[in-house]
A = this chain, B = another copy of it.
Amino acid sequence: MNNFTFYSPTYFVFGKDEENKTGEYVKRFNGSKVLIHYGGGSVIRSGLLDRIKKSLDKENISYVELGGVKPNPRSGLVYEGIELCKKENIDFILAVGGGSTIDSAKAIAAGALYDGDFWDFYTDKIVTKALPIGTVLTIAAAGSEGSPDSVITKEEGMFKRGATGEALRPMFSILNPALTQTLPAYQTAAGVTDIMAHLFERYFTTTNDVEVTDRLIEALLITMINEAPKVIKDPNDYQARANIMWAGMLAHNNVCGVGRSQDWASHDIEHELSATYDCTHGAGLAVVFPAWMTYNMKHDIKRFARLATNVFNCKMDNDNPESTAKAGIQALKSFLKSIGMPLTFDEIGAKEEDIPAMAHSACYGNKRTGTLGGFATLTEEDVINIYKLML
C-alpha cells in the first residue's frame, strides 16, 4: 500500500424528505447569498426547486437562480455563472441535480474566486480556493456529491476535461433516493455503469497487497450487480435506489481508492465519445469498458481472473486463468446488456471514421502529452485499437 492522505469532510444527509432541510444546511455552512444552479425543467416540474426555495426562505437566505445545465456540461454556462457570482456577491453555490449540475457548480465555484480563465483548472492547475458548495442530488452516478472532481466540456475545441482539488468537495450533500425514482430506466442504468466504472478505475492497479481496498471495491461492485436489476424492474424500489445511491458516493469519494495506483484512461477514452456525440457518459462507459478490459487483460491476467471470480461468480480455471478473465469480461457485457446499456459504436451513434481524431484528442488535446493510463500505459495507437474493439 502506498502512503496516502484521505479527507472527505462533506456532511452527508441521506434519506426521504431530507431536501426540505436544505436551508438549515446552507445556514450551518454560513451561506447567506446563494446561487441555485440546476439543469432543465424536471426539478421545476417535480416541485423540488420550490421545496428547496421554501426551505431557504424559512432561514431568510436570499438566492438567485441559474438553470440550463446540460448533460456533459459546457463552459459557456460556467462563464455566465462566474459573472453572476461576482455581480451578485454570491457566497454559496447550491447545485440541485445530477453530476453535470454539480460539476458545473464546482467550475463556477472555482472560477468565482480566480482572476484568470477557469479553464486553467481543467488543463493542469489544482483548485485550492472555491466558493463553498452544497448539493441536492437527483441522480446516482457521477459521485460528484462527495468527490473533489469536476468534468466540463469546453465548446471551443470540444475538449471534455477534468479538474480536481480538495476545495471542490461539497460542504454538504443531501441524498434522497426517492428523488431518483422518476429517472428513466436508461438514465438509471447509465448511472449504475458510471458508478461501476469508478470502481473499475480503482480496481485495476499496479500496487500490490491492497486487500482492504480490493475487497471494498468488490463489495460495491456486487452491490451494483444485485441492486441494479431491481430498479430496472421496479423504478419505485426505494431500498434498491438507496443502496445504489450510497454506493455511488463511496465509489468516488476515494475511500476505496487510497494507497493504490489507479487507471483513468477509460474515462478519458469515453470523454471523447460524449464530447463528440453527446451520448450519456455512463452509456459511453458501457461501450468503452469491456473493450478497455479486453485490450489490457494481458497486463495482469490474475487481477482480471480475481474480478471474474469474486464479483461475477465465475469459476476459477487454474490451468487457464485467461479463460476465467475472459469469462468475467463476458459476464460484465451480459450484465450491462441486461440493464439496457449499449456495447458498440453503432448503439450510441459513434462512427468508425472519427476514431483517429478522437484518439488524437484523447492523447494530445488540451496540452496532453501523448499517453494515458496507469495500470496500462496507452499510446495513441493503443487507443485507436481499443476504439476499434467497440465496432
Contact = CB atoms under 8 A, between A and B. Distances in A.
Given A1-B239, A1-B242, A247 B212 contact: yes
Contacts of A244: 212
- Tallying the copies of this chain within the complex gives 2
Interface in A240-280: 240, 242-244, 246-247, 250, 255, 258-259
A5 B1 contact: no
A218 B10 CA distance: 25
A291 to B, nearest CB: 28
A223 B227 contact: no
A226 B211 contact: yes
Interface in A282-339: none
Interface size class of A (residues with CB under 8 A): 35 or more
Contact of A258 (B14, B216, B227): B14
Contacts of A258: 14, 246
A15 to B, nearest CB: 3
Interface in A171-186: 177
B11 A4 contact: no
A10 B6 CA distance: 8
* Most B Cβ at <10 Å: residue of A13, A212, A240, A244: A212
Interface of A: 1-16, 18, 177, 208-213, 215-216, 218-220, 222-223, 226-227, 239-240, 242-244, 246-247, 250, 255, 258-259
